[in-house]
Every structure is written in structure tokens, then in C-alpha cells.
Amino acid sequence: MHQSRPRLARVRIPLAVLASLAIITGVAVESASAAEPLGSIAEFSAGLNAGSSLNVIAAGPDGNLWFTDQGSTKAIGRITTAGSITEYTLPIPISNPAWIASGPDGALWFTEADINKIGRITTTGSITEFPIPTPNSAPEGITAGPDGAMWFTELAADKVGRIPVPTSD
């Protein structure tokens, strides 16, 4: 029994130290979060096309944010974290860009519901469009899959589509 007491004493010291560290860490975390209050919202519109109607936004591989614009001039937009906006007009004026997602190839992929295509835009603004085999399928959501392809939903066709991603431009 005499030997068990020193073991308990050795265990208590590290636990006391750990408890003290937890308290100190908790105070430090609380102080850091208090330094950045919630609720300060900035809005940006300089650089948007006239008649814009913005829909979905996604983080791009270039450190910018990319969004779809379903307004009177259909476009894919890019906004820097400083708020500088550039819009790239889509080739077909009746296109309706819905969702956008970053792809594994360093480009952004988007759905064009009204013209039944999947679009791809490079971070320099080069646009390519790919037709969907099922007519009037109305592609909507899109995301990068774990297999290196882009996956999307076809709202009007009740299907899920997959498009392989090229390894280079």
C-alpha cells in the first residue's frame, strides 16, 4: 500500500497542471473571439453588370470568390476579398447560370439550366460549354466528386450527371 501513494501523488500533479492549462486556454480563446465582434457586413456592387441578379457563390482555386449572375446579361463573376468585381459574359444570352463549384482542374464549373449545358470557366475567364445528352434536363447543383469528376443534378430529368474533368486546358 505504501507504494501506491507515490503513484497517486505523481498522477495528481500532472492533472493539476492540465487543469490549470485548460483554464488558461479557455480564457485566451474567449478573449480572442471577443476581439472580433459579429455583425459587421460589407457589401460590394461596383463592377456588376447592369440588371444583375446574383445567385450562387463559391470559393475559387485562385483565392477569389466566383458567382453566377442570372440578370439581364448572363455572366460568371469573380470578386476578390478586397471587393473588386469582374464579370465574364456567357456566350449564349439566354443561358441561365445556376450553381458554380471549384473543380479539381483549377477551373470553376457551373450549370446552365436554360440551355441544358455544363459550363467551365478558367480563372482567366476562358469559357467552354458542354451539352447534356438528355434534352431539357435543367441542370442545377454541381460539385467536385472524390473521383476527380464534376457531378451535377438534372432537375427536370430526375437524374444525376457526371462529367470527367480534363487534366489540362
pLDDT at 159: 98
CB 152 within 8 A of CB 161: yes
CB 111 within 8 A of CB 99: yes
**86 lies in some domain:** yes
Q: 153 and 101, same structural domain?
A: yes
Read off the pLDDT of residues 141-157 as tens digits, 9 standing for 90 and up: 999 999 999 999 999 99
140 and 102 in one domain? yes
pTM of the model: 0.77
**Per the domain annotation, does 49 fall within a domain?**
no
pLDDT grade for 167, boundaries at 50, 70 and 90:
confident
CA distance 120 to 126: 8
Q: Are residues 83 and 119 in the same domain?
A: yes
Residue pointed to by grid coordinates 480564457: 27
Residue 151 forms part of a structural domain: yes
161 contact partners, CB below 8 Å, separation of at least 6: 118, 132, 137, 139, 151, 152, 153, 154
Range of the domain at 92: 54-164
Q: Judge whether residue 21 has pLDDT over 70.
A: no
Give the Cα separation of 111 and 163 in Å (integer).
12
* Co-location of 119 and 96 in the same domain: yes
Q: Tell me, yes or no, whether 72 and 134 share the same domain.
A: yes
Domain count, the chain: 2
